[in-house]
Chains A and B, each alone.
Chain A
Amino acid sequence: MTSWTLAIRSLRFHARSHLGSLLGAAVGSGVLVGALVVGDSVRGSLRAMAISRLGKVELAMASNDRLFRQKLADDIGASLDATTAPVLQILGTATTGDADARANRVHVMGVDQRFWELAGDPPSFSAISPDSVVINRALADQLQTKTGESLLLRVRKPSALSQDAPLSPSEDTLVAVRLNVQAVVSDSEFGRFSLHASQIPPFNAFVALPTLASRAGVTNQANLLLIGPKRGEGNTAITLDSATKALRENWTLADAELKLQELPNGNGAELRSDRVFIDSPASRAAFAADSEARGVLTYFVNEMRIGERTTPYSMVTAMGAPIVPEEMAENEILLNQWLADDLGAKVGDELTMAYYVVGLARALEERRETFRVGGIIPMQGAAADPTLMPDFPGLTDAENCRDWDTGFPIELSQIREKDNAYWEEHRGTPKAFVTLAAGQRLWGNRFGDLTSVRFGDQAVGTDLERQIRDALDPASVGLQFEPVRESALAASSQSQDFGQLFLGFSFFLIIAALMLMALLFQFGIEQRTSEVGVLLALGFKPGKVRLLFLREGAVIGIMGGLLGVFGGTGYARAMLYGLSTVWRDAVGTSALSYHASPATLIIGGVSGAGVAILTIWLALRKQARQPAHQLLSEGPADESPSLSGAGWTKRRTDLISRLCLIAAGGLIVLTGMPEGLAGAETFFFAGTLLLAAGIAQCASILTSLGASGTSAKIAFAHLAVRNATRKRKRSLATIGLLACGSFLVMSIGVFRLESGAGAAKRSSGTGGFALIGEATHPVVQDLNTQSGRDSFGIDSANLAGVEVVPFRVLDGEDASCLNLNRAQKPRLLGVQPELLAKRGAFTFAKVVEEAPLEDRWLLLKSGKQATVVPAIGDQASIQWALGKKVGDTLDYTDEQGNEFKIRIVASVANSILQGSLLIDESAFIERYPSTSGYRMFLMDAPGEKMEIVSKVLSRALRDFGLEIEPAVRRLAAFNAVQNTYLSTFQVLGGLGLLLGSVGLGVVVLRNVLERRSELALLLAVGFGSNALRWCVLSEHGVLLLLGLGVGAVAAFVAVLPAVIAPGAQLPYVSLTLTLALVLLSGIVWTWVAARFALRGKLLDALRNE
C-alpha cells in the first residue's frame, strides 16, 4: 500500500466522475499540441518548398547585369568535380499567342541539360528544343495555357553598359521571342526554381540556353552559375571556400567583362571593358599589375566653341603621357590639327566645351567647361589613335554619324559634311586632349572614371592577364558564390512561428478546457468530502490530503497529455485545412502539408500534462481546508459570508468597480473627446476597464444578495437570484469566464485593419498615394517630365495632376507578412527622401533618434559614414518578417563585393511599404551602380482619374511589364494577413466560449446536486417539478446573461471607434452568431444539467437525510 496504489484505486473507482476532467485535460493538451504541430507543419512545408525550389543546388553565383562566359561553369565543375550549370536569367513578360493572358515578372531562364541534373526529380523531357519553352505550373495557370500552345516572351537584352550610364544607347533593349510550350514542369522537377525564399511560387519559363543567349545577343554568356553534387552522389563537400577557390583558379578577365588588347603598332596593350567605364577595383588591379600603367578616359562632348566657331560631337581624351605632358595645367587643352583648323584656334584661346552628364533619373544635364588652348598637335603617332575611343555601343559600329545611337538627343542638323568625313576616316580619334585629372573631374561617374588602362611595352611580355586577375577579387566585380541552400534552410527554420501564433489564437480555448477540467475535478472531489474528512481525522495533514488528490490529478493530466498528442494531430490537421482554405490569406499558399516532429509531440504532450496538473493543483488549494468533523457530518458549507464580512467584501468590490468605471470614462474623455483623437487602443483599454468594473459589480451584487437576511416573502424569482449567490465564487468564475471570453472574441475585431478609411490622407498606410506600380524591366525615363512621357507616347493630358515617386529596386526577399520565411536580405528600394518628406507621406511608428516631424524621411541622408547606410521600413516587416527593431543593422554586400551595413533608423506604421527597406537613392547608386532605372512607382493621381491613369500608364509601359494597382488594394492585401489572424482568433475563441458554456452546465449540475434535499423540500411543500426546473434554469440563466452582458457591453465600448468610423464593416453577423451560439449552448447545457440533477426521486434525497 502506497500513496500511488491509493491514487490508482481511487481513479479506477471514480473513473466515471473523472472522465469529464480527463476530456477537459485531453482537449487542453490536444489544442496545445495541435498549435505546436501547426508550427511544425508550416516550418516543414517551407523547408520542403526550399528544397524543391533549390533541388540539389548548394551554391549559386548570380551576377545579374554582369555576364560571364558559360565556359566558366565547365571549368569550375571540372575543378570541383561537381555538377555546375550556367544559366542566363532574365526578367521578362509573357503573353499567350493571342495576347489574352499576360504574366509579368516572369523569370526567363536559359538552361541546358546540366540545370535539370540539379533538379530534385529529373523532368520527363530530355532537352528543350530551340523553338520551345518549358514553363512551371504557376505560369501555366496564370496564362491559362498548356503544352503545344505558343507563348510570346519579352526579355530585356542584358547590356554590359548600364542604361543609366552616360552615352548608353536608347536602342530598343527588349527582344520578343515566340516559343511553343513544350512541357509544364512540376515543382519537384525544378518548376519552382528560385533563389529567393517565398511560399508563393514564381513564374518560371525555361528556354534552351543557346537560344536565349543568342536571341538576347549574349552568345556563350550567362549570369547565374549553380553548383550541386554530381549525379548519384550525396552531399559531397562542396564548400563555399572550395567554390571560391575554383572560381579564382578558372576565371578570366572576360568573366569580368574586361579585355586585354594589344595596341596597334606594337605600342603595348590596354585594358578595356565592355561596360565602357572600367570598374574601379579593376583599374586598381591593373595599376597593381604594372606600376607604369596609365589611365585613359575618353568622353563624348557635344560641342567645342571658340568665339563664334563651333565643332559638334567629338571625342575628347583625358590622359597623361605620351600626349599630354605631365606639367600641363588642368585648365589647358591640346587640340589636334583638324580641330584647331576647324575652330581657327591658336594657343592661348579660350575654348568652351559642352557635354552631358547623367543625373538622377537619368536626367541629362548639359554642362560647360572652359579651357585655355595649350597647344596644337599634329594628327600622327599616338595622337592619331582611334582606339582611344572606348566601345560605345551605338557609336563604335556606326558607319556614318547619322547612324549614331547615343541614347540622348543629337541635333543631326549640326553635323556637317566634314564631321562625317572625319568620322569615316578617323572614326573616334579624339580631337582634343586634357589632363586625366581634369577629365575625371568632369566625366567620372559611378561606373568608373577610366575607359582604358594602357600598359607599357615592357609589361606586355609578361603574363599581364594573370597578374591583373590575381590582383582582382572576383567578388568586387560581382562574381561571388552564395550558400543558397544554407540560407534557404535558415529562412525556413526561422520562419514566422505559427506554433506560437496558434498557441496565442488557441489560448482562450486552452483556458476554457482547463477551467472545465478543474471544475469537473473539483466537483468530483467535492463528492468525496467524507473521504477528505476521514483522511484528516486519521491524521493526514491537509497538504498530504491534497497531495493524494494531486496524484489522481497527475494521472489524469498525463493521460490527458497522451490523448492530447493524438487529438492534437487531428486539431493540427483541421487548422491546416483552415489555413489552406478559409484562412488562406494568412499564408498565401494552399501548399501546406502536415509535419510533426516527435520532439514537438513530446514537448506538447508533456506541457499539456504539466499545465493540466498545475491547474488541478491550483483547484486543489482550497480543498481539505475545512475541519474534518464538518466534512464528515455535512459536506462543504456555503460560502455565504457573515454579515460583517459581506459588508467588507461588498465595499471592496464596489470600490474596484467604481474605480474602473471612473478610469474608463476618464481615459476616453481625457485622451480623446476634445479632438476625437482617442485611438482604438484607448477604447480597447477603456473597454477592458469596463469589463473589470462589470465583473467587480457582479461580485458586489452577489455578495450583498447573499448576505441579505432571510426575506419575508420568497418570491420565486428571488429564490433564483438568491441561489445564484450561494456559491458566490463559483458563480463569479462562471460570469468572469463568459464575460472575458465574449469580450475578447468581440472586441478583438477592433484591431482589424481597415485599408479604406482615410486612404487619401498622407498619414495613412498608402502614404496618400493613389496607385502603386511595379515594372518588370527598369524604366529609366522620368515619368514626371514631358520628355519622359513623350518617350512612351503618353498623351500628357491624361496624366495631368499625376506625380510619380520612382524607386530603384534591388531584388531581394520579400520581407512582408506575405512571406512566411524569415527574410534574410530584404528587397532594397532607392528613393529620393525629399520626395516623401515634402509630402509628409506615411506615419512614423518608431524613430531611432528624434527628428522633426517633417524631416524624418531625411534621416535617410543622415548616415555620412561610408559603411553604414540608414534605412526606413515598415514596422510590421521589421518586427515580424525580419525579426529586427529600429536601431538594428543588417549586413549587405554591394556590387563590388564590399560588405556594408544597413541601419534601420525609423519605421512607418502599417503601410504599403511592407516587404522592403528604403534607402537614399544616392547611397543606392553608390552601392549598386549597375542596377539601372526604376522599377517601383508610387503615384499621386486625382481620385477620379485613378482608373484612366492606371490604364494609360499600363498600356504605355506594357513592354516594361508595368503593373499598377490601387494603393488601397495593396494595403488591403497586407491587412488581410492580420485580419485573417484575427478571424482565426475569433473562431478559436468562440470555440473556447462554447466550451466555457459547457462549464456553466457543470456548475449547474454541482449546485443542484448539492441542493437536492433542499429542492426536494420545495417539492414536498408543494412546488411543481416544472417550476423547480425553471427555478434552476432561471437562476443560472442569470449567470449566463450577466457574463455575456458584461462582456458585450465592455466590448461595445472597445470597438466604438470602429463602429462610428465611416465605412466601417464590422463582422456583425459572425459576432451575433457567436454570441447567440454561446447563449444557446449555455441554455442547453444548463437545461441538460438541471434535468439530470432533478431526475430520479427527489424526495428520496429528503428521506436519506
Chain B
Amino acid sequence: MSKSPPLLVLERITKDFPSLSGATPVQILRNVSIKVSDAESLAIIGPSGSGKSTLLNVIGTLDRPTRGSITLEGDDLAKLDEDSLALVRNRKIGFVFQAHHLLPQCSVLENVLLPTLASDLPNRIEDSEPRARRLLDRVGLSARLSHRPGQLSGGERQRVAVVRALINAPKLLLADEPTGALDRASAENLAQLLVELNREEGVALIVVTHSMQLAKRMRRICELTDGDLRELESTEGDKL
C-alpha cells in the first residue's frame, strides 16, 4: 500500500451547492479526505441524500469540488481543462450507474465498444474488440453479443454496463448503487462479479451502496454522514 504513490488522493474536498432560496450555499461535502491505492476496493455507505453520488461524481470528474484537491495517478485534476478531464474519464475511469444507461439502439457488443469511439485514435477499436468479447465471455454474455439491451434482463444489462466501464482498462471503477435496481439474485450475482473483476483486472473499485452485503465484500468501508466521510474498520471477510 505504501510502496507506490496511491492511485487516488482526495484532500479536504468540499462541495457546496447554491441554495434555491437563501444566499448561503448548502454544503454537501465537508473536508473529505481519502486515499485509494491501485486495485483496492472501497465501499461508501450512508443515508440517502448524504452526498454519496456527489462525492462519486467529484471523484469521477463529472463535477468539480468547491475546494480541495483530487490527484489521480499523481495528476492534479483541478489543473486539467474539460477536454483533458474527458480524456481522463475515458482512459482511467469506468462508471457503473444505478440505471444501466445502455444505448437502446446499439447491440451489446456495440454498447461495450462505445467508449472507444470517444477518442480519435484509429486502431483502438481493433484492439478493443477482442477484449470486449473476452470480457463479455467472462461475464457470461458471449451468446448475447448482438442482442439489444431491450432483450436482456436487468442483471444482464448491468453486467454489460460493467464490461463497458472496463473496456478501456481503467485504473478506477466507480459504481453508484449498481445493484440498486436489481432483484436479490441478480444483485448478488453482480456483487460477486464486481469483486472478481476487481481482482482479475487489477482495477481499483469504489462502490456506493445501501447494501451492507455488498459493502462488506470490499476491502474498506467508508460512511458518509452530514458531509463527513469516516472510514470504518477494514473488513477482512473478503480477503479469502
Which A residues are within 8 Å of any B CB, using their own CB? 1-3, 5-6, 9-10, 12-14, 530-531, 533-542, 544, 548, 627-629, 632-633, 642
| A530 and B99 contact, CB distance less than 8 A | yes
Segment 175-222 of B: residues with Cβ below 8 Å from A: none
CA distance A878 to B88 in the complex (A): 66
Query: Given A6-B110, A10-B105, A14-B105, are A541 and B63 also a contact pair (CB < 8 Å)?
Result: no
* Per-position binary interface string of chain B over residues 70-96, scored 1 when its CB falls under 8 Å from any chain A CB and 0 otherwise: 000000000000110011111101010
CB-nearest residue of chain A to B113? A1
Known: A9-B105, A540-B117. 9 other contacts (CB 8 A): A1-B113, A533-B101, A534-B103, A536-B86, A538-B95, A539-B93, A539-B115, A548-B117, A629-B57
By a CB distance below 8 angstroms, the chain B residues around A540 are: 86, 90, 117-118
CA distance A629 to B63 in the complex (A): 8
By a CB distance below 8 angstroms, the chain B residues around A13 are: 104-105
| A632 and B101 contact, CB distance less than 8 A | yes
CB-nearest residue of chain A to B21? A709
| A539 and B88 contact, CB distance less than 8 A | yes
Query: Given A536-B86, A539-B91, A629-B63, are A2 and B117 also a contact pair (CB < 8 Å)?
Result: yes
By a CB distance below 8 angstroms, the chain B residues around A5 are: 110
CA distance A548 to B91 in the complex (A): 20
Does B232 touch A at the CB level, under 8 Å?
no
Q: Which of B83, B91, B110, B113 contacts A9 (CB 8 A)?
A: B110
CA distance A632 to B102 in the complex (A): 12
CA distance A568 to B129 in the complex (A): 45
Interface centre among B82, B88, B89 (most CB of A within 10 A): B89
Sample of 30 A–B contacts (CB below 8 Å): A1-B109, A1-B110, A1-B113, A1-B116, A1-B117, A2-B117, A3-B117, A5-B110, A6-B106, A10-B105, A13-B104, A531-B103, A534-B97, A535-B114, A537-B60, A537-B89, A538-B89, A538-B90, A539-B86, A539-B87, A539-B90, A539-B115, A540-B86, A541-B82, A541-B83, A542-B86, A544-B86, A548-B117, A627-B57, A629-B63
Report, nearest first, the 8 A-B pairs whose CB atoms are least far apart.
Answer: A539-B90, A13-B105, A539-B89, A534-B101, A9-B105, A540-B118, A1-B113, A541-B86
By a CB distance below 8 angstroms, the chain B residues around A538 are: 89-90, 95, 114-115, 118, 164
B83 to chain A, nearest CB (A): 5
B150 to chain A, nearest CB (A): 10
By a CB distance below 8 angstroms, the chain A residues around B117 are: 1-3, 6, 540, 548
By a CB distance below 8 angstroms, the chain B residues around A12 are: 105
A600 to chain B, nearest CB (A): 37
CA distance A1 to B86 in the complex (A): 20
Which B residues are within 8 Å of any A CB, using their own CB? 18, 53, 57, 60, 62-63, 82-83, 86-91, 93, 95, 97, 99, 101, 103-106, 109-110, 113-119, 125, 129, 164, 168
| A539 and B118 contact, CB distance less than 8 A | yes
| B89 and A542 contact, CB distance less than 8 A | no
CB-nearest residue of chain A to B104? A13
CA distance A327 to B126 in the complex (A): 113
Interface centre among A535, A538, A542 (most CB of B within 10 A): A538
CA distance A318 to B32 in the complex (A): 125
A519 to chain B, nearest CB (A): 22
A993 to chain B, nearest CB (A): 36
CB-nearest residue of chain B to A628? B62
By a CB distance below 8 angstroms, the chain A residues around B63 are: 627, 629
| A541 and B106 contact, CB distance less than 8 A | no
Q: Which of B82, B93, B110 contacts A542 (CB 8 A)?
A: B82
B79 to chain A, nearest CB (A): 18
By a CB distance below 8 angstroms, the chain A residues around B168 are: 539
CB-nearest residue of chain A to B170? A539
By a CB distance below 8 angstroms, the chain B residues around A6 are: 103, 105-106, 110, 114, 117
CB-nearest residue of chain A to B128? A1
B226 to chain A, nearest CB (A): 21
Interface centre among A3, A533, A534, A542 (most CB of B within 10 A): A534
CA distance A845 to B114 in the complex (A): 66
By a CB distance below 8 angstroms, the chain A residues around B93 are: 539
CA distance A913 to B173 in the complex (A): 84
CA distance A536 to B63 in the complex (A): 12
B206 to chain A, nearest CB (A): 15
Query: Given A539-B88, A541-B82, A541-B118, are A530 and B62 also a contact pair (CB < 8 Å)?
Result: no
| A537 and B95 contact, CB distance less than 8 A | yes
Interface centre among A2, A9, A530, A533 (most CB of B within 10 A): A9
| B86 and A530 contact, CB distance less than 8 A | no
A625 to chain B, nearest CB (A): 11
